Amino acid sequence: MASSRNQNFIFMLISVLIILATMSFTSALFSAKHVVIVNKLVTRATLVVHCMNKDEDKGVISLGPGDSFDFRFRVNLRKTTVYTCSFAWPGNTATFDIFRADRDDNPQSKVGVCSECIWSIYEPAPCRDKRDGGQPNCFPWAS
């Protein structure tokens, strides 16, 4: 009788561990991302932002000085997820890949992995802020 209870307990324990491992694997496989875009234009102009990927359009958003816009998504299985944003402010337009899995979800990339990718948008360049408050990583505009 005690042996039967032990076998049932071990079976239940192994089942729970398998379920938890599967959930962790699935979460790691499709890593959740949170992109935040902050208008830090030195001219204090309104920034018009339009972000999309091949499947989803986030719409056109107007950001006043210091305002932010954010969205969440999961990286695809092939790790090819890209979100491109166009930015416009008086007298200027620019484009930038605000999220690229090869850059922002790759431990070997120069800037490392971000689960919360905070971008400060300045006239000369978009900059990904560091969570520790260190010097941000700035990138050239694509156009």
CB atoms within 10 A of CB 15: 10
Q: What is the pLDDT of residue 126?
A: 98
What are the pLDDT tens digits along the chain (143 aa)?
A: 556 666 777 766 676 555 544 444 444 455 899 999 999 999 999 999 999 999 999 999 999 999 999 999 999 999 999 999 999 999 999 999 999 999 999 999 999 999 999 999 999 999 999 887 889 999 999 98
* Distance in angstroms between the alpha carbons of the first and the last residue of the chain: 74
Report the predicted TM-score, pTM, of the whole model to 2 decimal places: 0.79
Q: Are 38 and 128 in contact (CB under 8 A)?
A: no
Q: What is the pLDDT of residue 31?
A: 80
Q: Are 74 and 59 in contact (CB under 8 A)?
A: no
Could you tell me what percentage of the chain is helix, strand and coil, using 3-state DSSP and rounding each to the nearest 5? Answer: 20, 40, 40
CB atoms within 10 A of CB 121: 22
Q: What is the pLDDT of residue 56?
A: 95
Q: How many residues does the chain have?
A: 143
Q: What is the pLDDT of residue 57?
A: 98
Give DSSP secondary structure letters for 3-51. HHHHHHHHHHHHHHHHHHHHHHHHHHHT-EEEEEEEE--TT---EEEEE
State how far the Cα of 113 lies from the Cα of 32, in Å rounded to an integer: 11
